[in-house]
Amino acid sequence: MPLRRLPPLLFGRRSRYAREPLGLLAGLAIVVLWSAWYIVSRAGLLGSLTPADITFIRYATGSALVLPLLWRWRGVWRRGVPWRTLAVLVPSYGFLYALALFFGLRDTPAANAGVLLNGLLPAAAALGAWLAFGQGVGRGKLAAIAVLLAANLLMFHAGLADGKLSWALLWIVAATGLLAAYMTVTRRQPVDIRILLPAMSLGNLLLFLPLWPFMASGLGQASAGAIALQAVFQGLVNQLLVVWLISFTISRIGSVSTSVLYGAVPALTAVLGWLFLGERLAGIEVAAIAGCCAGIAAFGRSR
């Protein structure tokens, strides 16, 4: 596709963004909140908080917020709960995913994490769809995946230290795999949001609490402001607000147009990391971010 056709395609009068301005605003809000979440998480990890601490704050806050909803939706729970499906969904996009991502964010810049997670996810999700449903991938998406993998190879190369691959990058790859598994299972066996939302917060809190005392913690040394900031972004923004915004955006502009907007997450994360965390990027990392943004946008537009 010629580059001169891209602006009219995205923002011309006939584009879904122009016809659904509320959907566009909601999608842009997701990009901003998601990018800010990377920065807030990284800032907490650079302070006294550990990955285990932020994981606990995430699910403790989320659980407190969903308890009133659980009572309101008790009738849905009484009609039957898909326990086997939840047994896979809850830990995959739950405390295991959160711990892996936070261990990665602790030791690598936020922009690197944004490229790896957002860049590898389309390829991992496509692989999951092929394994679970036998669903093929068109040439356009294969080309976009190739661009994304090239961008991630650049970021992996930038993450090499003394010829050895950083463990932080491997933690983020593990988090991406868990998220792709969650997306695949959700598509194969969708669960009512009134069951899924409380189960994800409360279930993960119950699973993680027995492990937390045996993990490193700096919660006692953290300020009240640092804890409150994590509670807002981990429990309210990430667990509830972003989930709702994603559903609203897809209903307005569709999943394809929504996925195109995600391409801005790595770039915005890099800018925020530079502004608020003083994270400077090498030329190879800037190239990886540009490739990731282009690849995600191409993946969303292609068939």
pLDDT exceeds cutoff 50 at 288 = yes
Measured in whole angstroms, the distance separating CA 83 from the mean position of its chain's CA atoms is: 24
73, 191 contact by CB (below 8 A): no
Q: Find the range with the poorest average confidence among 33-37, 77-81, 240-244.
A: 240-244
pLDDT in tens, 88-119: 889 888 899 999 999 998 888 887 777 777 77
Predicted local distance difference test score (pLDDT) of residue 14: 53
Q: Find the range with the poorest average confidence among 15-19, 177-181, 190-194.
A: 15-19
Mean model confidence pLDDT for the chain: 81
Q: State the pTM of this model.
A: 0.81
Looking at per-residue pLDDT, the higher value among 10 and 182 belongs to 182
pLDDT exceeds cutoff 60 at 164 = no
pLDDT exceeds cutoff 90 at 139 = no
Predicted local distance difference test score (pLDDT) of residue 163: 52
pLDDT exceeds cutoff 80 at 285 = no
The share of the chain scoring above pLDDT 90, in percent, equals: 29
Q: Find the range with the poorest average confidence among 72-86, 131-145, 179-193, 240-254.
A: 131-145
pLDDT exceeds cutoff 90 at 44 = yes
Q: What is the mean pLDDT of residues 243-265?
A: 71
CA 37, CA 52: separation in Å to the nearest integer? 17
CA 129, CA 136: separation in Å to the nearest integer? 8
Q: What is the mean pLDDT of residues 228-242?
A: 90
pLDDT in tens, 21-35: 788 888 889 889 988
Of 237, 133, 236, 112, nearest to 176 by C-alpha is 112
pLDDT exceeds cutoff 70 at 221 = yes
Predicted local distance difference test score (pLDDT) of residue 301: 63
